[in-house]
Structure 1
Amino acid sequence: MRRKLSILVFLFGFGFCSWVLIGNINTIYLQSNGETWKNEVQSPKTKEPTYTEPEKSCEPITKIMFMKTHKTASTSVMNIIERYAVKHNLTIALPNGENADQFNYPNPFHERMVFPLLHGQDHYDVICHHMRFNSQQVNRILPRHVAKYVTIVREPGKMFESIFDYYYDLVDLFHNVPSSSRENLDIWLDDAPSRINRGGRGGFWFIGKNLEYHDLGFSNMNEDANYLKLAAERIEQEFDLVMISDHFMESLILLKDLMCWDLKDIVSLKLNSRKGKILEQPEQLRRKIRNWNKADAFLFDHFNATLWRKVEAFGHLRMAQEISELKRLNGEFFKECVNDTGVVESGSKLFNPNGRLDLKAYAPKNNVSQICELATMGTLQISAKLRDNYKKQKQLLD
């Protein structure tokens, strides 16, 4: 009997304690929920602090030589530089040949390829159009000791696939396959070494192998290890910054820092790119492309490592903050300048072989600033405008 009574007392005590505990928990939950509700209704939202650029201890640099390479996002960088030049009334060295967007490419650059200075001008400030780099001749136009020299390279797998598609109609070397599809590129790479060695090169053949090395003035057929090492050392000596298009935002921040510019000076729109999403490249195809373009692969690996050393020195936290702010400024710039996005009309804004490619182009809003208008222009359009302005000024001064 006593044992049964003990059990009943225990069960009653346990039940009572459980009831009290559950009641307390429920009260705490309701209070907490009520406080949360009151906080959501009554407490003002905390505003994100705005980014403030640190004060500069340097003066903006207004002389820059940008060595524009092919299919490396170089058109976007060129546009940034040209807008800066126009805004600050700088003198751009312009091509005087048949094509307003290039210095008689693929011939090595020569000072005679540049329009002469106008009356009252005594120096050039900017070079940024396509050329095949020739250090000695470039120095005659824009001396190395007074200007910053910059170029840009890209991971060769993605770059060469883009080259193959973009220039397929132009390059005879590519025409042993029926189209520029990824599958045909894979087939083409299997036959490329024997085809190029047996003399089946044809027009613009150099585009089909180590194009970045060719643009920078080196032999695209020489893939000797010592030659590649010496070439990379020479590029390091001649250029203050080698940007990497695969890390475009980091590269732009380093460009801004090198030139002592402001973030608003490097806002941009993505120019001369294909519309739509590009599928991830298979690893086997990437290896094939790198093996075919050994020089460009060496160049990319070398300067990609160099870029990240510069990022380390710049500071990862500072870099992340400035990239975040630049993205915000780019969004505002787009809203300010762009009316609509559409397929480029053949020959109007961008080089579009046979009008076959679906390229991204922008239409400016009505009555926008000159800077907005320039930002929406492709290479052909902006180069033609700059040449026209030069000729009009020359007529007035003559």
Structure 2
Amino acid sequence: MRCNRRELAILFVYCVSLLLFVHLRGVWRKEKNAYTDDERSSRNEIQHTLVPINRRRQQSNLFSCPSNPSFVYVKTHKTGSGTLAGILKRLRARNKSLNTIPKFPPPYAGGYPGSFRRDLTITSDDMKSGADILLAHFRFDETEVREIMNPQAKYISIMRNPKNQFQSSFYYFYYSRYRQTVTSFKKMACQGYPYLHVTGNRLVPFSQYLELAGTKLDRTAPWYFRSLNNQAFDLGLDPAKLSREYVLNEAKRLDSVFDLVLILDHLLESLVLLKTLFCMEWEEIIPTFVNSRQYDDIVYSEKGEAILRKLTFQDQILYDYFNASLWRKIRAYGEERMAKDVQHLKSLIEAESSSANPQVKVEAVASNKIKRRAVRELSMTLSIEDALTRDILENSKGKNETLARSVARHMIKAAGSCPHYSLEVDSLFHGR
């Protein structure tokens, strides 16, 4: 009986111990599970937070902010390029240590209208590892430009509806410039050409010029490209190749090179994308319009339309391509977001315009008339190469005659020379 009691006592202790063990184990498991749930909840919360952060980083990489805002800006003619240049100069002003390739010969670079050549530029020892900024009118050549530029540089350009660009070039370089006294005479720009060549040194209205250009304009005319696929020419296309396949292939190639081609006809949307590309402030992209003029609307005849389509064949294909490319970027940016940002930019422009105090700039040029006439008379006794070399040295205030002569030869080969103005033509257009 005692044995039974002893065994019962042992059994009781065992059972109590077992129950206590089970209970304590349950409590421990509950605490462990509670900690694991909390930890899991915490980890989930962290992951939930990190996902949008990572997404934002991935999205920001589409327009990542460059630590060094290096860029190449190909200024196309009469496309609002001066306005855009003013904005990009603000970007350059952020960091004064950036190395900019100077314009040579002014107002161009690298031997324009010849294709850009790095050996015809002026660089310093600071640019051995690559120049940071190239901002000028030059004829684009990707290979030559990359050889001299920072490999991290962004590539920027701008285009305009070819019909409007063609008209603007006509009025700026020819018609409007010669209906009144010219206050800025740039020999290096050969103002008046190819228009004087086509019209026989006459001043004619646009419709008449267009008809003459349809039959008389060819690649032998000085600066012929101002009236023949001017934008395509500046972007480096061969004006002799007029197949649609060639132009489309060049458009695709350029699209792979350029980070952004702005469209003047959608300037505000373009500027918002530019702001995002370089992480600029709103105030930095407010445009100050340069060389902006209003011209009378032109009513084209059926023949005039056909001539214009022929003279801007390459430009039109490139414009259509990059206009579509711009709108793809806008859709990626978000159309609602873009509309909101454009409205904000408009309000900033209006506020800037209302606070501005415009003043008419009057240039005193009478004192230079005698000097200019003497230079033109002297130029008439020189060969075209000598006269152009002299102009380059005079405009650049440089002393490197060897480089200036090399540039002159490159320009002449690309139809970039012009007959120096005879006193008869000069008198016709300047009233002297």
| TM-score category of the 2 structures, normalised to the smaller one | 0.5 to 0.7
- Other-structure match for 2:296: 279
- Other-structure match for 2:325: 306
- Once the two structures are superposed, the pairs formed by residues 287-298 of structure 1 within 5 Å of their partners are 288-298=307-317
Q: CA distance change for structure 1 residues 121 and 235 in 2, over 3 Å: closer, same or farther? A: closer
Q: CA distance change for structure 1 residues 293 and 268 in 2, over 3 Å: closer, same or farther? A: same
Contact 2:269 2:330 in 1 (8 A): yes
Question: Structure 1 residue aligned with 2:360, among 315, 323, 342?
Answer: 342
Question: Structure 2 residue aligned with 1:179, among 170, 190, 203?
Answer: 203
Q: Does 1:220 align with 2:261?
A: no
Q: Does 1:323 align with 2:342?
A: yes
- Once the two structures are superposed, the pairs formed by residues 113-192 of structure 1 within 5 Å of their partners are 113-117=120-124, 122-143=129-150, 145-168=151-174, 169-171=192-194, 172-176=196-200, 178-179=202-203, 181=205, 185-192=206-213
Opposite residue 282 of structure 1, the aligned amino acid is: V
2-structure distance, mates of 1:219, 1:95? 26
- Other-structure match for 1:376: none
Q: CA distance change for structure 1 residues 152 and 346 in 2, over 3 Å: closer, same or farther? A: farther
* SS of residue in 1 equivalent to 2:358: strand
Deviation at 1:129, TM superposition (A): 0.6
Contact 2:99 2:131 in 1 (8 A): yes
Deviation at 1:187, TM superposition (A): 2.6
RMSD between aligned alpha carbons? 3.0
How many residues are aligned here? Answer: 288
Deviation at 1:335, TM superposition (A): 5.9
Deviation at 1:208, TM superposition (A): 1.7
Deviation at 1:302, TM superposition (A): 1.3
Q: CA distance change for structure 1 residues 249 and 346 in 2, over 3 Å: closer, same or farther? A: farther
Q: CA distance change for structure 1 residues 161 and 177 in 2, over 3 Å: closer, same or farther? A: farther
Contact 2:91 2:280 in 1 (8 A): no
- Once the two structures are superposed, the pairs formed by residues 173-252 of structure 1 within 5 Å of their partners are 173-176=197-200, 178-179=202-203, 181=205, 185-197=206-218, 201-252=220-271
Deviation at 1:231, TM superposition (A): 1.2
Whose radius of gyration is greater, 1 or 2? 2
Instruction: Return 5+ residue gaps in structure 2 as ranges.
Output: 1-55, 175-191, 366-371, 373-395, 398-432
Opposite residue 157 of structure 2, the aligned amino acid is: T
Q: CA deviation digits over 1:213-270, x for unaligned, max 9?
A: 1111112232112211111111111111111111111111111122232322212211
Contact 2:154 2:259 in 1 (8 A): yes
Opposite residue 315 of structure 1, the aligned amino acid is: G
1-structure distance, mates of 2:204, 2:168? 10
TM-score (norm 2): 0.60
Opposite residue 167 of structure 1, the aligned amino acid is: F
- Other-structure match for 1:70: 77
Deviation at 1:190, TM superposition (A): 2.7
- Other-structure match for 2:19: none
Instruction: Return 5+ residue gaps in structure 1 as ranges.
Output: 1-53, 348-353, 355-386, 389-398
Opposite residue 360 of structure 2, the aligned amino acid is: G
2-structure distance, mates of 1:103, 1:346? 31
Q: CA distance change for structure 1 residues 88 and 132 in 2, over 3 Å: closer, same or farther? A: same
Deviation at 1:288, TM superposition (A): 4.1
Q: Flag as ranges the 4+ runs of structure 1 deviating above 6 A.
A: none
Q: CA distance change for structure 1 residues 121 and 287 in 2, over 3 Å: closer, same or farther? A: same
Q: Which moved more, 1:169-178 or 1:67-76?
A: 169-178
2-structure distance, mates of 1:120, 1:212? 29
Contact 1:72 1:159 in 2 (8 A): yes
Greater helix percent: which structure? 2
